[in-house]
Amino acid sequence: MKKRMFVALVLTILVLTMAGSTSALAGPPPKTTGGVQFSMIYMSPDLDGNPISSRNWGQWNVVDHGGSAKGWYTWMSKSQYGWIRMTTKVDCATFFEDAAGVPTAVFVGEITSIQPPEPPEWVLEPTFWFYPGQFVKILAHDEGSPGWDGDQIGFYLDLDVPGGSASFASRPSCGPDGFSVSLPVYAGNLVVHD
């Protein structure tokens, strides 16, 4: 009787140890984090027809939870005309390596706030503006870890809108499909852990 109890106890410990080691081998879930600076030229010119260039900051933290994601993305832009700040709540993400083997993430978030709330008079093209309830689709390309050399941040465009739009009225797919514009990062860092 004691021998059977001892064998049962050893088997139980063995099974529990194997189950624990399997979950430990699974590793952390895929995630992407970043705090980067990049430049861009707005899609529409100013009132005098001159291009509007801006300094931009993007910050995010997105973690995949097996089919859904949790996180946030904040974008700030400063041009000669003032500031724009947008925040989003991210709920889906795709993690993969591109054709060159570079860790890449695509994530989609619903815009929760935009400041200022209405386009200023210098925004001539209303398709450029963002509104709460719309969606953005962002690409993070991690070629430069550690550091930013080679890193890129990208924005997908809704080509169903004439001239293209940087936001989507309805949720786009979370995959890498679609047309994106990538911009080089010149300061900060982004990381994609697949």
Domain spans of the chain, in order of start: 29-193
For tokens 């815009």, name the residue.
111
Residue 184 contacts by C-beta under 8 Å, 6 or more apart in sequence?
A: 38, 151, 152
Instruction: Convert the pLDDT of each residue in 14-64 to its tens digit.
Output: 444 444 444 445 678 889 999 998 887 665 666 677 777 778 899 999 999
Instruction: Convert the pLDDT of each residue in 85-108 to its tens digit.
Output: 999 999 999 999 988 999 999 999
Instruction: Convert the pLDDT of each residue in 153-172 to its tens digit.
Output: 988 888 787 667 788 888 89
SS (H, E, C) 70-108: EEEEEEEEEECCEEEEEEEEEEEEEEEECCCCCEEEEEE
pTM score: 0.77
